[in-house]
Structure 1
């Protein structure tokens, strides 16, 4: 794909690192160029980790997957779909590592929002206002924030970010047609 797309720079997840290294190594010897590779963090899937792999391979195995739609949030998911997926998501109490909702908070929500409000009944401590990811980690690790209180907040903030994209595909005729065409190409298992 790199050479077919004439990409000088590729931005892909770590799961594509082997093909990127291969392109860099053999590109010049077969008449192409040596592409610049920018690899980035991959969000883990929303399901419970089942793998016994370790290191980078475990990280790749945990990532969101198009072939398992409930493990991923798509930019075209409805508000209800996002709420349902987040509500079903693996989110063990007091656990930060391999907790997909904590990853969403760290890499998406706190990158965009300076303050995150978590609404909850007074009997469970009342509303919380968090100003950074470290504050979230502290209250979650201590057990002062339950996953059932975190989940609605994560869903709300993700929906705020996805809403402009949804509106674009609803209101822009050309974008809507393109989306329908892309959906028709989906491979099912």
Structure 2
């Protein structure tokens, strides 16, 4: 429990640092906001029997009862307003919203809509997932510049050839190169420049190490700015959670 509270606080700082409006954004923790959402969670839980939960989420007899009840809580934010909720999420969150769409209208709410992001590969390979328990799979927002450089050069999956000679002759494959994929998704906003990098890599002009260095430089520029904004976020946590216009409105009502 203590670890999850710590991680929640760290995540809150990172969210605030992105630049959301504190009067139009409400950040809540289930452990604090539970009195406001529990009445609706009970109603939702009555609509989801264990057979359905097991079929959708793959629960087994080894799962604890907390995780079995959790889908009922996860669905509740879609009922915060009598409006259609739009949820940006990864595809692995979709089962929650499928259940929501099955039961929403029975409560007088709209079926939720979702925007699925593309799969973002782990540092260690385009078919792997990032994991908080495996530091080598991701760059953390708290990583310093030396750590970023070490992780990229040591772990970033490469689409390059085994030797410089072969790479110059045959070129690299940016389609499976995580450094290029991350540039494409996150760190190179200029499509023209991205195309140049891709063509130079495919032709063999750009080496894997040089591609990794481009990514390292981009990430460290981003993280320096993120750290600056994160420091300012320390003074804004209460406004997002309790004192902002939307936060005050949310704390004043129960979801039923």
TM range (shorter): 0.5 to 0.7
The corresponding residue for 2:131 is 65
2:205 matches 1:144: yes
Q: Tell me, yes or no, if structure 1 residue 3 matches structure 2 residue 80.
A: no
Query: Which runs of no fewer than 5 residues in structure 1 stay unpaired?
Result: 50-60, 116-130, 177-189
Residues 27 and 80 (structure 1), Cα distance of their counterparts in 2 relative to 1, 3 Å cut: farther
2:253 maps to which residue? Answer: none
Aligned with 1:109 (options 187, 194, 198): 187
* Distance in 2, Cα, partners of 1:14 & 1:98: 20
What TM-score results when the alignment is normalised by the length of structure 1?
0.66
Name the CA distance, whole Å, in 1 between partners of 2:215 and 2:122: 15
Partner Cα separation in structure 2 for residue 67 and residue 15 of structure 1: 18
| Unaligned 5+ runs, structure 2 | 1-73, 161-171, 238-256
* RMSD, matched Cα: 2.7
Equivalence for 1:42: 119
C-alpha spacing 1:101/1:165, structure 2 compared with 1 (3 Å): same
Does the 8 Å CA contact 1:169/1:175 hold for their aligned counterparts?
A: no
CA contact (8 A) 2:148 2:216 kept: yes
What is the CA–CA distance in structure 2 between the aligned matches of 1:65 and 1:78, rounded to whole Å? 18
Give 1:77 shift: 2.1
Paired residue secondary structure (1:38)? strand
Alignment size in residue pairs: 149
Contact 1:13 1:42 in 2 (8 A): yes
Q: Which structure ranks higher in relative contact order (CA pairs < 8 Å, sequence separation ≥ 6)?
A: 2
Contact 2:159–2:175 (8 Å) recurs in 1: no
Match of 2:176 among 86, 95, 98: 98
In terms of fraction of residues, the more helix-rich structure is 2
